[in-house]
């Protein structure tokens, strides 16, 4: 009886030690897996942020490019209109220097009630 009880206690102690060892190993494995998952999430976040910055930069460059093209087109259009207006003044007998001076005054708003429609 005493020997059986001691043997049973010994087996229970062995089983308890094995269970605690297994649980510790499982906890350690869980911690390692959680750490790896956290590292992977951090890597994904860094990659997503890098892609967002690249995309934002590309969009900014594209917007600047479109704005520059629009500015150049507007400049060419204004030059065409001014050249046509200058030609009209030249056809009326105004010399070129005076014609340019008149157009500049109109563009600056120095001639009341007169404007150039671009």
pLDDT tens digits for 29-56? 999 999 999 999 999 999 999 999 999 9
Average pLDDT, the chain: 97
Q: What is the DSSP string of 49-103?
A: HHHHHHHHHHHHHHHHHHHHHHHHHHHHHHHHHHHHHHHHHHHTT--HHHHHHHH
The answer to whether 114 and 106 have CB atoms below 8 angstroms apart is yes
Q: Cα separation of 46 and 40, whole Å?
A: 10
Whether the predicted pLDDT of 1 surpasses 90: no
**CB neighbours of residue 99 within 10 Å:** 20
Domain residue limits, the chain: 2-107
Give the pTM: 0.57
* Per-residue pLDDT band at 20 (split at 50, 70, 90): very high
The answer to whether 96 and 86 have CB atoms below 8 angstroms apart is yes
């Amino acid at each position: 009886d005493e020997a059986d009880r001691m043997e049973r206690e010994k087996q229970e102690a062995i089983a308890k030690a094995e269970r605690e060892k297994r649980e510790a190993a499982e906890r350690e494995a869980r911690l390692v897996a959680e750490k790896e998952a956290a590292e992977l999430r951090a890597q994904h976040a860094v990659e997503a942020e890098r892609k967002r910055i690249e995309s934002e930069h590309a969009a900014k460059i594209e917007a600047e490019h479109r704005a520059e093209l629009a500015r150049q087109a507007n400049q060419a259009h204004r030059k065409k209109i001014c050249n046509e207006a200058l030609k009209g003044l030249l056809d009326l007998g105004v010399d070129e220097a005076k014609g340019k001076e008149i157009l500049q005054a109109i563009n600056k708003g120095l001639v009341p009630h007169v404007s150039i429609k671009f």
